[in-house]
Chains A and B, each alone.
Chain A
């Protein structure tokens, strides 16, 4: 027996166990500093299908949509989304005229979407129907509640340009009405008592503070530069999301345990080594997901489990080869090397062709299909790496340490 090899094995085992604890289990709970980051798996972004939320695809209508218009549209929509106070909203352009908006954990998703795409068009009109001031002249709009009268209103502040216009219009229309229209709907038709040079005005007559709040949002985020339509909208309730997450985690765990038991029973010692390598595989994949900020979705979980299956397959191919080499009478060490060398071409070609499929899927697919392809691709690459480096290294350590010499334990 070689003491330093045994020490190495023990060292690796300790490191991996620690890594598992840090990554997947909340062991450091009492510690405030780490609690924020641990377990690592907690920090993986969950997709809408796993935590509930709304996914909307908004398309700009009209013949020619310039990149500039799309930029403006996105800016306005971003501003509107910000007003809802959703944590980490996702707004992404897809193609030349589409925006994807994803809001997680929102209470009334459909109402929110309605307000996001609403055409807010504010106009001040004189009695003869002439539009004198528009939303573009507006600098800010805030809802307030008068504590004395309990009246809800929206306070308007005009831009310097708008304030000048407003002063002129009010001066010219003393004693007459000026209609305030939102999206063509008359909100209020106040009578001008005197000229207002301050550039401040207010709209009242709302039923609730919430209504005033929504209108204020629309007013201050301005009008959309183009007409838009909703092409796709998927809402997942938080209960279904949590349920899916729970169930797929359970299923994943059961599947993994079944694989581990099979590997141990059928391949004995190399199986144990493979199981160990697979645990490292899971940790590395988790780290890559964190590093690349991959969003985990339901198809993503499936892809992860499938790539795990492929990583297992890599080990199976190599072990089968290793057993064959042992049967030809080679020494353990020679059989490991021959098994890896011969098995590797098969593994390499097989995984690479699958990777090609994943890459194609990533570029052609959208939404969930894309997430699936990305997860699969990462899984394949990491699987290839752990099988040919970790498994091989551990098997060598095992043999060289002299802990287990009986060929029976190697499945021969």
Chain B
């Protein structure tokens, strides 16, 4: 298999995954959690089974809108847990709601989160700033250690990963919270890591390149040389993530799922996108010279 000669297929696979996600992002957007929009999440555990309808009735009787969602988040024997999402509640409203719910059955408040709208906007802004800042600094670093075009290729591969993950979250309307940003940045970190390891090999092989050897072949050769490492590394990370997903409890699940998708995607883009894109950028450069 020649990675560079097959690059159009890789691009096609990436596009097939990204385009539906992009369309969904533009039409449906993301299912933003209260960390971004502001609002309330109340998670409670009833000691005896309480029907979701009862919860809804209690909320309606207090005049708290129930449009966002009331969701059964777990059941253990007779105990049921509910996740109640509402608009931002005042402290009085929140206290009244907890008191009223406590009358349905003996109840424990597992968590109660309130996020004001200002904080939410800031979070979104800071996240975008962080991503852009990180991208610029990484391009600068890669330009110093490698070359500018490799920096661009690496960042394109990163953009690919970010688009795939956010696209999937938009398609399935999975709710995202502040840990989603941490997950995206970790994915970016891992993906760039993979890309650099491959670029490093290419850099080394270019130094000892024989006369007449095609750039495409050198890149392909380097990709094959680093392939075992790429696979083994991904495997070890997947071990940890799968363990976290299965045993880590509900609070971590979405976070881990994001990482799982993103890290597999990052490995793919490092092998099948970053170097091929760099190759194409190089070809453009040669064409310019010919003209």
A: which residues have CB within 8 A of B? Answer: 49, 57, 59, 110, 113-114, 229-237, 239-240, 243-244, 247-248, 250-252, 254-256, 258-259, 262-263, 266, 298-299, 302-303, 305-306, 308-310, 312-313, 316-317, 320, 324, 342, 345-347, 349-354, 356-358, 360-361, 363-369, 372-373, 376
**Most A Cβ at <10 Å: residue of B126, B141, B236, B259:** B236
The residues of B that contact A231 with a CB separation of less than 8 Å are 115-116, 118-119
A81 to chain B, nearest CB (A): 17
The residues of A that contact B235 with a CB separation of less than 8 Å are 262
Q: Does B281 contact A (CB under 8 A)?
A: no
A102 to chain B, nearest CB (A): 14
- How many angstroms between the C-alpha atoms of A251 and B118 in the bound complex? 35
Contact A110 B95 (CB under 8 A): yes
Q: Identify which of A324, A351, A357 contacts B138 (C-beta below 8 A).
A: A357
The residues of B that contact A230 with a CB separation of less than 8 Å are 91, 114, 116
- How many angstroms between the C-alpha atoms of A313 and B122 in the bound complex? 35
Top 5 A-B residue pairs of the complex, sorted by shortest distance between their CB atoms: A255-B240, A364-B130, A258-B239, A247-B249, A255-B243
Contact B252 A376 (CB under 8 A): no
Contact B110 A313 (CB under 8 A): no
Known contacts A255-B243, A347-B197, A364-B130, then 4 further A-B pairs from the complex at CB < 8 Å, ordered by chain A residue:
A114-B91, A255-B244, A354-B189, A360-B134
Contact A372 B182 (CB under 8 A): yes
The residues of B that contact A360 with a CB separation of less than 8 Å are 130, 133-134, 137
12 A-B pairs in the complex with CB atoms less than 8 angstroms apart: A59-B118, A232-B115, A232-B119, A234-B111, A236-B110, A248-B244, A259-B240, A305-B244, A313-B233, A346-B201, A356-B141, A358-B189
Contact A247 B130 (CB under 8 A): no
Q: Identify which of B115, B146, B243 contacts A258 (C-beta below 8 A).
A: B243
- How many angstroms between the C-alpha atoms of A320 and B248 in the bound complex? 32
B53 to chain A, nearest CB (A): 25
- How many angstroms between the C-alpha atoms of A191 and B251 in the bound complex? 58
The residues of B that contact A113 with a CB separation of less than 8 Å are 91
A214 to chain B, nearest CB (A): 15
**Most A Cβ at <10 Å: residue of B109, B192, B244:** B244
Residue of A with least CB distance to B90: A230
Contact A252 B244 (CB under 8 A): yes
The residues of A that contact B130 with a CB separation of less than 8 Å are 360-361, 363-365
Q: Does B31 contact A (CB under 8 A)?
A: no
- Mask for B114-152, Cβ within 8 A of A = 1, else 0? 111011001100110110011001100110011000000
B253 to chain A, nearest CB (A): 10
The residues of B that contact A236 with a CB separation of less than 8 Å are 110-111
Contact A320 B134 (CB under 8 A): no
Contact B247 A369 (CB under 8 A): no
The residues of A that contact B241 with a CB separation of less than 8 Å are 255
Contact B43 A364 (CB under 8 A): no
The B173-209 residues at the A interface (CB cut-off 8 A) are 178-179, 181-182, 185-186, 188-190, 192-194, 196-197, 199-201, 204
Q: Does B14 contact A (CB under 8 A)?
A: no
Total A-B pairs in contact (CB under 8 Å)? Answer: 216
Q: Identify which of A252, A298, A347, A357 contacts B185 (C-beta below 8 A).
A: A357
Contact B186 A376 (CB under 8 A): yes
Contact A302 B255 (CB under 8 A): yes
Q: Does B228 contact A (CB under 8 A)?
A: yes
The B10-65 residues at the A interface (CB cut-off 8 A) are 43, 45
Contact A232 B116 (CB under 8 A): yes
Contact A243 B249 (CB under 8 A): yes
Given contacts A235-B112, A346-B197, is CB(A250)–CB(B251) below 8 Å?
no
Residue of B with least CB distance to A263: B236
A61 to chain B, nearest CB (A): 11
B: which residues have CB within 8 A of A? Answer: 43, 45, 91, 94-95, 108-116, 118-119, 122-123, 126-127, 129-130, 133-134, 137-138, 141-142, 145-146, 178-179, 181-182, 185-186, 188-190, 192-194, 196-197, 199-201, 204, 225-226, 228-229, 232-233, 235-237, 239-244, 246-249, 251-252, 255-256, 259
Given contacts A57-B119, A305-B244, A369-B181, is CB(A352)–CB(B141) below 8 Å?
yes
The residues of B that contact A252 with a CB separation of less than 8 Å are 240, 243-244
Residue of B with least CB distance to A247: B249
- How many angstroms between the C-alpha atoms of A250 and B244 in the bound complex? 8
The residues of B that contact A354 with a CB separation of less than 8 Å are 189-190, 192-193
Contact A361 B137 (CB under 8 A): no
Residue of A with least CB distance to B145: A349
The residues of B that contact A235 with a CB separation of less than 8 Å are 109, 111-113
- How many angstroms between the C-alpha atoms of A258 and B185 in the bound complex? 25
Contact A351 B193 (CB under 8 A): yes
Contact B182 A368 (CB under 8 A): yes
- How many angstroms between the C-alpha atoms of A232 and B145 in the bound complex? 43
Residue of A with least CB distance to B193: A350
The residues of A that contact B185 with a CB separation of less than 8 Å are 357, 361, 373
B183 to chain A, nearest CB (A): 9
**Most B Cβ at <10 Å: residue of A59, A243, A313:** A313
Residue of A with least CB distance to B204: A342
Contact A356 B236 (CB under 8 A): no
- How many angstroms between the C-alpha atoms of A367 and B190 in the bound complex? 22
**Most A Cβ at <10 Å: residue of B119, B146, B194:** B119
- How many angstroms between the C-alpha atoms of A400 and B138 in the bound complex? 41
Contact B232 A366 (CB under 8 A): no
**Most B Cβ at <10 Å: residue of A248, A256, A263:** A248
Residue of A with least CB distance to B227: A320
B235 to chain A, nearest CB (A): 7
Residue of A with least CB distance to B231: A316
The residues of B that contact A255 with a CB separation of less than 8 Å are 239-244
The residues of B that contact A243 with a CB separation of less than 8 Å are 249
Contact A313 B134 (CB under 8 A): no
Residue of A with least CB distance to B233: A313
The residues of A that contact B192 with a CB separation of less than 8 Å are 350, 353-354, 357
- How many angstroms between the C-alpha atoms of A275 and B118 in the bound complex? 47
Contact A353 B112 (CB under 8 A): no
Contact A349 B196 (CB under 8 A): yes
The residues of B that contact A259 with a CB separation of less than 8 Å are 236, 239-240
Contact A248 B252 (CB under 8 A): yes
Contact A251 B182 (CB under 8 A): no
The residues of B that contact A363 with a CB separation of less than 8 Å are 130
- How many angstroms between the C-alpha atoms of A306 and B260 in the bound complex? 12
